[in-house]
Structure 1
Amino acid sequence: MSDEPELILAELSDDELVEQMKDDLYDGMGPEIAEGTQILLNRGWDANRILKESLVDAMRIVGLDFADGILFVPEVLSAANAMKGGMNLLRPILAASDTQTSTGRVVIGTVKGDIHDIGKNLVGMMLEGAGFEVFDLGINTSIDEFLEAIDKHDPHILGMSALLTTTMPYMSVVIEDLDKRNMLKNLPVMVGGAPVNKEFADAIHANAYGPDAATTAELAKTIVGVNRP
C-alpha cells in the first residue's frame, strides 16, 4: 500500500484544483473530472471558464502529445471519455447561456458508402476537446444528410471522412453540390481519412486536409480564427 495521503479535491485551492484536473483528464480519470467540475461550479466558477481553463486546455496537451507520438489512440479515447464527465455537468449550463460558449460548430460525417468511423470519432473527440460544438452524422452520410445538417446547425466547418479509396470520390460530389448551391463561400470543408492526402484534398477543392485527429483540431481552430501560436 502507498503511504501517500489520499488527495481530497475539495481541499485544494482553485489553481491547484485546475492543475489537478488537467492531470486527471490526461490520465483518463472521469469520476475525478466530474467531481472537480462540480466543486468549481459550487465555488461560483462560470461554466465557460471551467471548460476553457481546465478541460479544453488539458485536451490541448493530450492532442499535442498524440501528435508527437507520446500518447496513442487508447489513451486519447480515455482522456476524451474523462472529459465527458465534466461536459455532462457543463453542457446544460452552457446550452442555457446566451453567451458564446464554443469555439465554433462543426458538422462531420463519414461519406456515403463508407461504414468506418473510428478515425472520425477520434476527430470528433479532439474537436470537442478544442471547444467545438460537434454534430456527428455518423457513417454512410449522403449529400442530403449533409445538407440537412448544414441547414439545421449552421456550422462554421464541414468535415468529411473516408477510409476506402472507392468512397473518396463522394467527397468531391458533395463539394461540387455545395458549390452549385453557392454555399462554399461561407462554409470551409475539411477532409481526412487513411487513403486521403493533401494532393487529393487540393484536387477536389477542399479547404483543408487533416492528416490526423490532433492536427485536424488545430486546423479547425485556425479556420475559425481562434488559433494561437
Structure 2
Amino acid sequence: MFDLTSLGNSVIEGDDEQVRVLTNQAISANIEPLVIINEGLIGGMNVVGQRFKVNDMFVPEVLMSARAMNAGIELVKPLLAGGEMTNKGTVVIGTVKGDLHDIGKSLVGMMLECSGYKVIDLGVDISPEEFIAAIKENDGKILALSALLTTTMLAMKSTIDECLEQGIRDKVKVVIGGAPISQEFSDQIGADGYAGDAAAAVELVAKLLLDATMVAR
C-alpha cells in the first residue's frame, strides 16, 4: 500500500521533483485523486502552515512547499471529475494601487488555495475599480487587500469606499494585511478584519465566511 506520509513530507521539504515522482506513484497505485490531494499534498501543507505560525518555517520555505504542493495538484487535477475539488468560497486578492510588493500577498493566496478556496490573484498596483470588477465577475465572497508602504495604506479605504458606492459592501467581506497595517487601522477604515500573517489570514477568512453563513440562515 502506498504511504501518503512520504508525499506530505516531500511537500514540507519543498521538493517539487520528489512530489511529482511520489504523486505519480500514488496515481499508479490507484489511490483516489481526492485522497492524494487531501491526505498527501494538503496534509503536508497543513503542517507547513502550523510551523509557519510558530516561526518554525519562514516565507521562502513556505513558498517552496506551496510550489511543490501545486506541482502535485497539477498532476492529479486531470483525474478529477468537474468541480470535485472543494471550493469553500472565492477570494479576490491583490496589492493596492501604487504598491508593487507581492511576496506576502502571494503567500496568503497560496495558503488560501491550499485550504480549499478559489483564489483570484489580481497581482500588484490594483485600483479600486479593478478589485470591484473582479468581485462581480467571479462572485467573490472575500476581498483581500495588501499594502507594504504606508503611503498606499489609504488605497485600502478607497477600495472599501468604492464597494459602498457600487452597492456591494454588504455582499463581500474585506480583509487587509501588510507590514504597516494594524487592527486599529482596520477598524478605522471599516474593514471586516486584519491578519498579521498568512496563517492568520486563512483563519480569518474561514471565520468570516462561517459567520456570513450563520447570518444567512
- Do both share a fold (TM > 0.5)? yes
Paired residues, number: 211
8 A contact 1:77–1:122 mirrored in 2: yes
Greater fraction of residues in helix: 2
- Which one has the largest radius of gyration? 1
Provide the C-alpha distance between the structure 2 equivalents of 1:25 and 1:61, rounded to a whole number of angstroms.
Answer: 9
- For each residue in 1:51-83, what CA deviation from the matched residue of structure 2 results, as whole angstroms up to 9, or x when unmatched? 222222221111111110111112111111111
Which amino acid is the alignment partner of residue 93 of structure 2? I
Question: 1:198 maps to what in 2?
Answer: 183
Aligned residue number for residue 66 of structure 1: 52
Amino acid at match of 2:20: A
Deviation at 1:39, TM superposition (A): 2.8
Q: State which of 157, 161, 168 in structure 2 corresponds to 1:183.
A: 168
Counterpart of 1:123 in structure 2 is 108
Q: What does residue 132 of structure 1 align with? A: 117
How far residue 24 of structure 1 moved from its aligned partner, in angstroms, is: 1.0
Give the whole-Å Cα distance in 2 for the aligned partners of 1:42 and 1:224.
37
Query: In the superposition, relative to structure 1, how do residues 82 and 100 fare at CA in structure 2: closer, same or farther (>3 Å)?
Result: closer
Residue 111 of structure 1 deviates from its aligned partner by 0.3
1:106 pairs, out of 78, 91, 94, with: 91
RMSD: 1.9
Cα distance between partner residues in 2 of 1:210 and 1:93 = 35
Deviation at 1:205, TM superposition (A): 1.2
Aligned to 1:25: 11
Match of 1:34 in 2: 20
Secondary structure in 1 aligned to 2:11?
helix
Give the aligned residue type for 1:176: D
- Taking a change above 3 Å as real, the CA distance of residues 45 and 157 of structure 1, as seen in their structure-2 partners, is farther
Equivalent residues in 2 for 1:131-150 (5 A)? 131-150=116-135
Corresponding residue for 1:207?
192
How much has 1:222 moved relative to structure 2?
Answer: 2.3
Assess, with a 3 A threshold, how the Cα gap between structure 1 residues 90 and 207 changes in structure 2: closer, same or farther: farther
Look up the match of 2:214.
none
Distance verdict in 2 for CA 1:72–1:98, change over 3 Å:
closer
Amino acid at match of 1:208: G
Task: Please name the residue that 1:84 is paired with.
Answer: 70
What is the TM-score with the length of structure 2 in the denominator?
Answer: 0.89
Long gaps (5+) in structure 2? 212-217
SS of residue in 2 equivalent to 1:106: strand
Give the conservation status (yes or no) of the 8 Å contact 2:8–2:42: no
Cα shift at 1:217: 1.5
Query: C-alpha separation between the residues in 2 aligned to 1:61 and 1:73?
Result: 14
Look up the equivalent residue of 2:120 and give its one-letter code: F
Q: Contact 1:52–1:131 at 8 Å: present in 2 too? A: no
Matched residues in 2 for 1:47 and 1:191: separation? 34
Residue 140 of structure 2 corresponds to which residue in structure 1? 155
- Cα deviation for residue 207 of structure 1 reads 1.0
2:119 alignment partner AA: V
